[in-house]
Amino acid sequence: MHGEDSSTWNGYLNALMKARARFKALGCTSTDHGHPTAQTADLPQAAAAALFSKVVGGNADAGERELFRAQMLTEMARMSVEDGLVMQIHPGSVRNHNRFVYERYGRDMGCDIPRRLIMWMRCGRYSIGTATNAT
């Protein structure tokens, strides 16, 4: 899509930078990042490339996947400094939980909620998709 080999770490980053440039050319002013945590990492290039290969290969454990997400937040922050796009971070948010919004507008269209609220919702006190209080 962007003329880059996204199966490599450098190609993946280059493809992301090109996508950001395209979004900016279309008038976008910010990026949106929903991550389980706000953890960041600043790995050396070789370590980041090795981690990327492990994640893409499906061989990363939960800790390595979280480390990759942390590295990607750092990479996105670096790109924001370079291209001027504002970086919005929604740590701990759960997306796509509102059935009405999801079915009508598609994925990632808002209605983020904090992860802790999910436990409350699973207790039956809130009906997902109808926005009504069941108690």
CA 108 – CA 83 distance, rounded (Å): 23
pLDDT at position 109: 77
pLDDT in tens, 78-105: 999 999 999 998 887 777 778 888 889 9
pLDDT at position 135: 35
Q: Over 60: is that where the pLDDT of 2 sits?
A: yes
Q: Report which of 1, 122, 10, 3 is spatially closest to residue 75, judged by C-alpha positions.
A: 10
Maximum Cα–Cα distance for the chain, whole Å? 54
pLDDT in tens, 31-61: 988 878 888 999 999 999 999 999 999 999 9
* pLDDT range class, residue 131, cuts 50, 70, 90: very low
Residues in the chain: 135
How much is the pTM? Answer: 0.74
